[in-house]
Amino acid sequence: MDNPVLRRELLDRLRSGKTLASLIAVAIVTSGIVLLRWPASATVDLVSRGSAEVFQPLAWGIAAAIVMLVPAFPATSIVRERQRGTLALLLHSPIGPFSIWIGKFLGNIVLMGVLIAASIPAMAACYSMGGTSLTQHIVPLYLIFMMMAIMYTSVGLLISSYQTSPDASLRWTYGAIIGLAALSLAPNVVLTGKGSMMATVAEYLSYLSPVPAIYQLTGSNDISLQSVRSTATSGFLMAAALVSLGMACVTLYRLQPKLLDVSKSAGKVTEQRSTGAQWLRRLTFLVDPDRRKSGIPPLVNPVMVKEFRTRKFGRLHWLLRLIAVCAVISLGLTYVASSGTVSWGVERIAAVMVLLQLSLLLLLGPSLASGLIAGEVESGGWQLLRVTPMSPRKILVGKLMSVVWTMLLVLMATLPGYVVMVYIQPALETQVLRVLISLGISALMVVLVTAAISSVVNKTAVATATSYGVLFALFAGTLLVWLARGKPFGKQFVESVLMFNPAAVALAEMRVPGMEDLNLTPFAWYIALIICGVSAIVLSMRVWRLTCPD
């Protein structure tokens, strides 16, 4: 506690109402899960069924809270110091780089420890129901939670040292965490059981994700994780410790006064490059959006053109690369299903594609839409829009369409995989059509909810973090309720909760195991459209209010 950076970080965070709200939310949600399954009679469950049934959703709920809450603060810690001008004072102070890093690191870890500790009463009640071992289940689970907090804090601090704006740092941090938690499992899912060197590398790569370790402790069944089942917990703890140590060393190396003295490269002219590089530039020139800047046609919304030309994330050359990667992944998954590389059916491969698209929507949507209104207000650009002759409707439509077109391009990138699936099994045509409708509604919901939050909040970083939290609660939080189906939630309650998640309709249509008997169509579409309508009304009223004279 003699570290001044640690004292400042803890005081700032403890005085924040968001910290108190997070603690109360975790305590209420975890305790509520236990109370719903608490036995009516004063007897202990000798067969340990009640405890085992509530232990799984409780563990996944705490893990989801860590993923949503831990990265937000370290991802903006160093970059905010840079923006406020205090980073130069810290780097030239006598406390040293290690004291700066350890202060920020421990400040987040201590508060995350308090956040995780808020779930201890619920876990103790779960233990008292019988069937859950303290040494084999609860203690290893909390070790995984703390290691998740350590690794994600290290990731956030490292990315924050590279970025120049809080919203960009948040985007890259959440993207990296999704990659560590989900994408690191993909090679092992495809190559499991092959017995080759690549399969061994894929197994070690899967240790970066806490998902197999939590599956092991909660006793979940998933054939795609069988190869890492026995060593998942120890593997994750070791891998997370090594990754955290490596990122900490890189961050400490960067926390030097030279961090502020970054010179901009003058670049090279084309004639100074190699022959191969010159030919590559000639080919990419065909799809390069910067090769010329033509005038804006009369029928094109100028605000939409301005968004495409000025934003750093989501410009055309990056979108083309993203679309190409999505198309290759979708066709690759289809090839896996058709060639029998793994013992899955076409429906399960389609479920993986749906989850991939949902992950892209949750990653790209808040990144693009959180700064539509808040970014203009924060930078002062909204004052320039107010004095233009454009109406509020034209401004709003232009900004929304700049995000909608991007999301549509991402969704269309995976269409080749669905086309091949329908060609393999023509009976899936109706299911695939409903899946595409569900994903389209999900994309619209992501855009409108994020834009509405952006119009209410005046800071882009706050809008980005809030959007990620709300969307994760709508899409991932409802799936946690489905995970607890029958233990303690009944089928009717699970269906009622999943009505707020249009992506669940896509999973149910593809007959994902555990969702075969759910009846979500078309009521989930109607509820999602109602949410979109309410968000559109809030957004329209806020834009109209912001364009009115002061």
Paired tokens of 174: 């959440």
CA distance 191 to 201: 10
Nearest to 58 by CA among 155, 124, 106, 104: 124
**Contact by Cβ (8 Å): 375, 460:** yes
**Contact by Cβ (8 Å): 441, 528:** yes
Residue 489 sits at φ, ψ, to 5 deg, of: -85, 135
CA distance 108 to 62: 17
Tell me, what DSSP letter sits at residue 515? -
Each residue's pLDDT, cut to its tens digit, for the chain (550 residues) gives 577 888 888 888 778 777 787 788 788 877 777 776 665 555 554 444 556 667 777 788 788 888 877 887 888 888 888 888 888 888 888 888 888 888 888 888 888 888 888 888 888 877 777 667 788 888 888 899 899 889 999 998 999 888 877 777 887 888 888 788 877 776 666 665 555 677 777 777 888 888 888 887 876 544 444 444 567 788 888 988 999 999 999 988 888 877 666 555 666 666 667 778 777 776 666 555 555 555 666 677 788 877 777 766 555 666 666 666 666 666 665 665 555 444 555 566 666 677 777 777 777 788 778 888 888 887 788 888 888 888 888 888 888 888 888 788 777 766 776 777 777 677 777 877 888 888 888 889 989 999 899 888 877 777 887 888 888 888 877 877 777 676 566 778 788 888 888 888 888 877 777 777 778 888 888 998 999 999 999 999 988 888 877 6
Whole-prediction pTM value? 0.73
**Contact by Cβ (8 Å): 419, 341:** no
Name every residue whose Cβ is closer than 8 Å to that of residue 180 and which is 6 or more positions away in sequence: 151, 155, 208, 209, 243
Paired tokens of 5: 């950076």
Cβ of 95: how many Cβ atoms within 10 Å? 14
Q: What is the CA radius of gyration of the chain?
A: 25
Paired tokens of 363: 């990653």
CA distances from 192 to 54, 189, 354 (A): 30, 6, 21
CA distances from 300 to 295, 397, 402, 410, 548 (A): 10, 11, 12, 22, 24
Nearest to 421 by CA among 501, 360, 354: 354
**Contact by Cβ (8 Å): 515, 348:** no
- Per-residue confidence (pLDDT) for residue 224, from 0 to 100: 45
Which residues partner with 489 through β-bridges? 485
Nearest to 441 by CA among 350, 331, 521: 521
CA distance 21 to 26: 9
Q: What is the largest CA-CA distance in the chain?
A: 83
**Contact by Cβ (8 Å): 509, 438:** yes
Tell me, what DSSP letter sits at residue 263? P
- Per-residue confidence (pLDDT) for residue 313, from 0 to 100: 58
Paired tokens of 262: 């970054």
Cite the beta strand spans of 436-489 per DSSP E.
none
Question: Can you give the residue ranges of every domain in the chain?
Answer: 7-165+240-257, 306-547
Residue 486 sits at φ, ψ, to 5 deg, of: 75, -5
- Per-residue confidence (pLDDT) for residue 47, from 0 to 100: 45
What are the percentages of helix, strand and coil residues in the chain, rounded to 5? 75, 0, 25
Residue with tokens 């590559």: 280
Cite the beta strand spans of 269-410 per DSSP E.
none
Paired tokens of 397: 């439509």
- Find the DSSP H helices in 389-428: 392-413, 415-424
**Contact by Cβ (8 Å): 359, 178:** yes
Exposed/middle/buried for 508, CB within 10 Å: 0-12, 13-18, 19+?
Answer: buried
- Per-residue confidence (pLDDT) for residue 423, from 0 to 100: 72
Q: Amino acid identity of 239?
A: A
- Per-residue confidence (pLDDT) for residue 46, from 0 to 100: 47
**Contact by Cβ (8 Å): 538, 452:** yes
